[in-house]
């Protein structure tokens, strides 16, 4: 005779029939699945029912809380700076894209103004790049830190980018792996609770969400991205975390690089006061949002990029994790150039096509266990809105394994559109801001 408080089949039926789960049912479901009392096939059925029938705000909030309660919570309330003052905390989460290296310049930039940035990041999968993969192209840099080392680094230089420990929301790790193989990744209640359970458990006081929209993003259309952003902002607000979201354009890659080492190189250019305009614009805007959410007024992040203050924090942050910020970055052994096939205006450079090309060149992985090539990727020489001429280099493909060039070129088929001069592509970077 089972001593369980509920029956998994009853819970599946409730959601299948468009019913509402009680808080007690949700708490039991997450706990029982985490400890193995609910079988994978039962949780897969429940996930599919949630994908098809949704959840209301109270259900999503309780589901998120139950996932947080499956593990440890970090606490930065006692964090002090070198002068003994209390440090507010702020974090940023991006839903993932192509060329999205924003975390790298953003974390040290925000730290310039006395706000601690505990940025727990992940690895890339498929066409979306991973922040940890990028940073691991820096000689000596390490992603794994103990909680004590993380606190010490936040107190000293104010910024840390590292891997999340296994103790944060372990229910999410198990649920995500199941969703990945059962066609239920797209369920907005499950995406939102997956992201927010980890971010709330991380203990940050303020959170800014960068929700990508477009071909290179997880959410391809604006309506879905808006629903996801609104759901996550509500979850953060319910948990007492000051949360805001920006909807940003991911039809075109960010910046002029998609890869690992080449994105670090571009991030350092931004920290040195240069770099592509779109990367600078989004970095500064997200910094402004993070600082405002953390209660800092009157800061000028753009000035801190220009005058080298953010670069100083970057160097200290990289050195604190064993990296050498002045060391030469890995360079791919082989390269191949893609040329413009006509005169005109580049009106489209499809983010998904570029992302898949970079992935196939070795910059990404198909499975979590796969290794990545630090030097592989795509370097772009033109962006939508630029006038180009036939025979002009548009992209350079980079890899250590030249047999990968053919499949990378296949991914770029249809990714480039050149129209008559006078054409004006939609180049909005920031589509909307979503606040509580």
pLDDT in tens, 313-330: 999 999 999 999 999 999
> Which CATH number applies to 90-320: 3.30.70.1380, 3.40.50.300, 2.30.30.100, 3.40.1030.10?
3.40.1030.10
Is residue 109 within 8 A of residue 82, CB to CB? The reply is: no
CA angle 343, 348, 351 (to 5 degrees): 135
Instruction: Write down the pLDDT at residue 214.
Output: 95
Q: Which residues are the active-site residues?
A: 93, 172, 179, 194, 198
334-419: CATH architecture: Alpha-Beta Complex (3.90)
Instruction: Write down the pLDDT at residue 218.
Output: 86
CA distance 414 to 356: 13
CA distance 270 to 310: 10
- Which of these, 129, 123, 121, 136, lies nearest to 359 by C-alpha position? 129
Within a 13 Å sphere around the CA of 137, how many CA atoms are in the beta-carbon half? 28
The C-alpha R_g of the chain, in whole angstroms, comes to 22
Pairing of strands 344-349, 387-388: antiparallel
Instruction: Give the model confidence (pLDDT) of 223-242 as tens digits.
Output: 999 999 999 999 999 999 99
- Averaged pLDDT for residues 92-119: 95
Burial, 328: exposed, middle or buried (Cβ in 10 Å; 0-12, 13-18, 19+)? exposed
**pLDDT level of residue 1 (50, 70, 90 thresholds):** very low
Q: Which two tokens stand for residue 199?
A: 């971010």
- In degrees and rounded to multiples of 5, residue 257 shows phi and psi of -140, 145
The helix (H) or strand (E) run that includes residue 225 is helix 222-238
Instruction: Write down the pLDDT at residue 121.
Output: 87
8-68: CATH architecture: Up-down Bundle (1.20)
- In 3-state terms the chain splits into helix, strand, coil percentages (rounded to 5) of 40, 15, 40
Q: Which two tokens stand for residue 320?
A: 């604190």
The helix (H) or strand (E) run that includes residue 262 is helix 261-271
Average pLDDT, the chain: 93
- Which of these, 97, 433, 436, 435, lies nearest to 247 by C-alpha position? 433
Which three-class secondary structure state does DSSP give residue 251?
coil
Q: Which two tokens stand for residue 380?
A: 């772009």
Q: With a cut of 80, say whether residue 8 has pLDDT above it.
A: yes
CA angle 222, 260, 301 (to 5 degrees): 65
Instruction: Give the model confidence (pLDDT) of 329-338 as tens digits.
Output: 999 999 999 9
Instruction: Give the model confidence (pLDDT) of 113-145 as tens digits.
Output: 999 999 988 877 677 778 999 999 999 999 999
The percentage of the chain sitting over the pLDDT mark of 90, rounded to a whole number, equals 82
Instruction: Write down the pLDDT at residue 270.
Output: 98
CA distance 94 to 246: 10
Instruction: Give the model confidence (pLDDT) of 39-79 as tens digits.
Output: 999 999 999 999 999 999 999 999 999 999 999 999 898 88
Instruction: Give the model confidence (pLDDT) of 341-379 as tens digits.
Output: 999 999 999 999 999 999 999 998 777 677 899 999 999
Instruction: Write down the pLDDT at residue 368.
Output: 67
CA distance 374 to 366: 16
Domains 8-68 and 90-320 agree in fold = no
Q: Which residues of 58-95 are buried (b: 16+ CB within 10 A; e: fewer)?
A: ebbbbbbbbbbbbbbebebeebeeeeeeebbbbbbbbb
CA distance 263 to 258: 6
Question: Where do we find the tokens 């309660």?
Answer: 69
Q: Which two tokens stand for residue 247?
A: 């909807």
- Averaged pLDDT for residues 408-419: 95
Instruction: Write down the pLDDT at residue 370.
Output: 75
Give the sign of the dihedral formed by CA 4, CA 54, CA 58, CA 164.
Answer: positive
Instruction: Give the model confidence (pLDDT) of 213-223 as tens digits.
Output: 999 998 999 99
Which three-class secondary structure state does DSSP give residue 318?
helix
Domain edges within the chain: 8-68, 90-320, 334-419
């Amino acid at each position: 005779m089972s001593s369980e408080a509920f029956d998994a089949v009853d819970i599946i039926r409730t959601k299948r029939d468009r019913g509402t789960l009680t808080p007690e049912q949700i708490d039991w479901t997450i706990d029982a699945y985490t400890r193995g009392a609910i079988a994978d096939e039962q949780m897969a059925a429940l996930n599919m029912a949630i994908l098809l029938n949704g959840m209301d705000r109270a259900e999503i909030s309780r589901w998120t809380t139950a996932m947080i309660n499956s593990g440890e919570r970090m606490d930065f309330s006692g964090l002090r700076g070198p002068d003994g003052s209390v440090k507010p905390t702020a974090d940023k989460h991006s839903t993932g894209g192509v060329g999205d290296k924003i975390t790298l310049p953003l974390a040290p930039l925000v730290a310039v103004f006395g706000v601690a940035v505990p940025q727990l990041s992940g690895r890339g999968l498929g066409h979306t790049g991973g922040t940890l993969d990028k940073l691991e192209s820096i000689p000596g840099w390490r992603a794994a830190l103990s909680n004590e080392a993380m606190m010490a680094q936040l107190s000293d230089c104010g910024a840390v980018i590292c891997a999340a420990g296994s103790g944060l929301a372990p229910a999410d790790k198990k649920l995500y792996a199941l969703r990945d193989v059962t066609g239920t990744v797209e369920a907005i209640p499950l995406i939102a609770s997956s992201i927010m359970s980890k971010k709330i458990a991380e203990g940050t006081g303020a959170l800014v969400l960068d929700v990508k929209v477009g071909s290179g993003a997880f959410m391809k259309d604006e309506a879905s991205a808006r629903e996801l952003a609104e759901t996550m902002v509500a979850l953060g607000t319910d948990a007492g975390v000051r949360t805001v979201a920006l909807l940003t354009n991911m039809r075109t890659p960010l910046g002029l690089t998609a890869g690992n080492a080449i994105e670090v190189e571009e991030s350092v250019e931004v920290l040195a006061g240069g770099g592509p305009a779109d990367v600078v614009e989004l970095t500064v805007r997200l910094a402004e949002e993070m600082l405002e959410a953390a209660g800092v007024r009157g800061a000028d992040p753009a000035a801190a990029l220009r005058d080298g203050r953010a670069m100083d924090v970057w160097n200290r942050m990289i050195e604190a994790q064993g990296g050498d910020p002045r060391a030469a970055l890995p360079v791919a052994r082989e390269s191949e150039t893609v040329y413009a096939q006509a005169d005109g205006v580049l009106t489209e450079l499809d983010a998904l096509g570029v992302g898949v090309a970079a992935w196939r060149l070795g910059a990404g992985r198909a499975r979590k266990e796969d290794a990545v090539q630090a030097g592989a990727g795509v370097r772009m020489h033109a962006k939508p809105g630029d006038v180009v001429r036939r025979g002009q280099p548009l992209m350079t493909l980079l890899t250590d394994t030249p047999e990968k060039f053919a499949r990378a070129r296949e991914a770029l088929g249809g990714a480039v559109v050149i129209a008559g001069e006078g054409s004006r592509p939609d180049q909005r970077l920031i589509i909307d801001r979503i606040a509580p």
